[in-house]
Structure 1
Amino acid sequence: MVDGQLQGMTITANNKKTSILCFEYFKYGDAINPSDIIGKDIRCGGTLASVEVNPNNSKIWISKLHIENAFAREMTPR
């Protein structure tokens, strides 16, 4: 929690896990109880506020996405 707002982060990597493709930072709009989603397949979404690209073009990390009014909900099987 930062400044009274629940926040979360995910990391997306390549298959070999040698490069981070994207950091995703979520600022949730509504309260989330972590015990409701632990161990489940979760979908996160929201409003894309900004995209930050690595300024030195290294392959260690490529971009950061900042998402506001985010949500986390259990995925339903297809």
Structure 2
Amino acid sequence: MAVKENVNLTKTPSEKGGISKFFREVKAEVKRITWPSKNDTKKALIAVGVVALIYMILVGGLDYIFQNLFELLLKLK
């Protein structure tokens, strides 16, 4: 059987701080971020664009093939 422990859920005065503490911590975290260079960002953007273009061509091609296949099978033409 599990042992029950008393858990104190109240915050100590050091854990309180409100919204101003939250924004100070966010500002500190943003300063620690290592931002990618413009060249890295450009490479990633091109890669995403190429993959999206390939995906659009693939889905469009499959749509065209299935549309013609169903028209042929169901004689909708």
Which band: TM-score by shorter chain?
under 0.3
The structure that has the greater radius of gyration is: 2
Which is richer in helix?
Answer: 2
Which is richer in strand?
Answer: 1
TM-score between the two structures when normalised by the length of structure 1? 0.16
